[in-house]
Amino acid sequence: DTGVSQDPRHKITKRGQNVTFRCDPISEHNRLYWYRQTLGQGPEFLTYFQNEAQLEKSRLLSDRFSAERPKGSFSTLEIQRTEQGDSAMYLCASSHWTSGSNEQFFGPGTRLTVL
C-alpha cells in the first residue's frame, strides 16, 4: 500500500506528558499537512510543509505543539505537556503540489486520548 501512513494509530497518555506522532506521506508528494479532528467535527488545519519548509501554522497550534519535516519526507508532530483538550484525532495528508493539484490524500490518523 503506497498511501499515507501514520504511527501510532492510538495513543493514551496522562496529562502533562509529551507525545510524538509520525506521518509518512505518499512517495514524491512535496506537501504535507497536519489537521486535528474532534468528535463530530470536520478536520481543522494545523500546519503544512512544502518539502522541509513549514509554510503556515494555524493559531490553533499553540507553543506546546511543534512539527518538523527534516528531510522533506516524513514528518513528526510533538505535543508537550499534554492537556485533556488535546484529545482528538490527528490527521496527516499529503499532496503533489507541483502538478498544480490541490488533491490531499489523508492517512488513517492517530487518535490521542489524554487522561
Partner 1 sequence: GENVEQHPSTLSVQEGDSAVIKCTYSDSASNYFPWYKQELGKGPQLIIDIRSNVGEKKDQRIAVTLNKTAKHFSLHITETQPEDSAVYFCAASYFGNEKLTFGTGTRLTIIP
Chain residues in the site for partner 1 (CB under 8 A):
4, 31, 33, 35, 40-45, 48, 56, 58, 91, 93, 95, 97, 100, 102-109
Neighbouring C-beta atoms of residue 20, cutoff 10 Å? 15
Q: Output the smallest distance, CB 59 to partner 1, in A.
A: 10
CA nearest neighbour of 21 among 57, 74, 61, 72: 74
Neighbouring C-beta atoms of residue 16, cutoff 10 Å? 10
Q: Which is nearer to partner 1, 37 or 80 (CB)?
A: 37
For CA atoms 88, 73, 96, 50, give the dihedral sign: positive
Do 112 and 90 form a contact (C-beta atoms < 8 A)? yes
Q: Output the smallest distance, CB 81 to partner 1, in A.
A: 26
Q: Output the smallest distance, CB 35 to partner 1, in A.
A: 8
Identify the bridge partners of residue 50 per DSSP, sorted by sequence position: 31, 53
Q: Which is nearer to partner 1, 67 or 93 (CB)?
A: 93
Q: Output the smallest distance, CB 106 to partner 1, in A.
A: 4
Q: Which is nearer to partner 1, 14 or 102 (CB)?
A: 102
Q: Which is nearer to partner 1, 82 or 94 (CB)?
A: 94
